[in-house]
Amino acid sequence: MVVDDSLQFASAVAQFLALNGDFEVLASASSGGEALARADAERPDLMFVDVSMPGMNGYAVVSLIKEREAAPKIVMMTLENSEEHRVGAMAAGADAFLLKEDFARGLPAVVEMLFGASRARTKPCCVKLSPG
């Protein structure tokens, strides 16, 4: 599941995931409230959550999702490369952190870390990600 208020970025991530691994993108959400509802309905194994969204930010979404039984793995993403965001993501309960500009390069290592080598696949990038 991809959670980002930039529909362009969320769409690019979903397309990249579908083309570059054993992923089925169940849903996307553009706000924190929508993310919580869709996570309940879809029960994803993995969520990519943007740090900065209007209303409920990504930290709050992650904290609430991680309180649930059988919570998915969560990767927080942002455009801003700051220690504050990394620390905030981990404090909220995220399992990993990726800068949006590093998504395509960093995804295989993150998947391997979260799910083991059998799920991590390295293919050339098929989608140019353009953060919105």
* Number of other CB atoms surrounding residue 23 within 10 Å: 17
Identify the pLDDT of residue 21: 67
User: Is the pLDDT reported for residue 132 higher than 80?
Assistant: no
Chain segment 43-63, per-residue pLDDT in tens: 998 999 999 998 899 999 999
What's CA 67's distance to the chain center, in Å? 17
Chain segment 21-48, per-residue pLDDT in tens: 677 888 899 999 999 999 999 999 899 9
Go through the domains of the chain in sequence order and give each one's CATH number.
2-115 (3.40.50.2300)
Task: State the average pLDDT for the chain.
Answer: 84
Identify the pLDDT of residue 23: 79
Q: Which residue has the higher pLDDT, 58 or 122?
A: 58
CA distances to 41, 42, 105, 110 from 97, in Å: 24, 22, 13, 9
pTM, two decimal places: 0.85
Which of 15, 12, 17, 7 lies closest to 121, judged by CA?
17
Identify the pLDDT of residue 60: 97
Identify the pLDDT of residue 108: 86
User: Is the pLDDT reported for residue 118 higher than 90?
Assistant: no
Q: Stretch 70-86: mean pLDDT, rounded?
A: 93
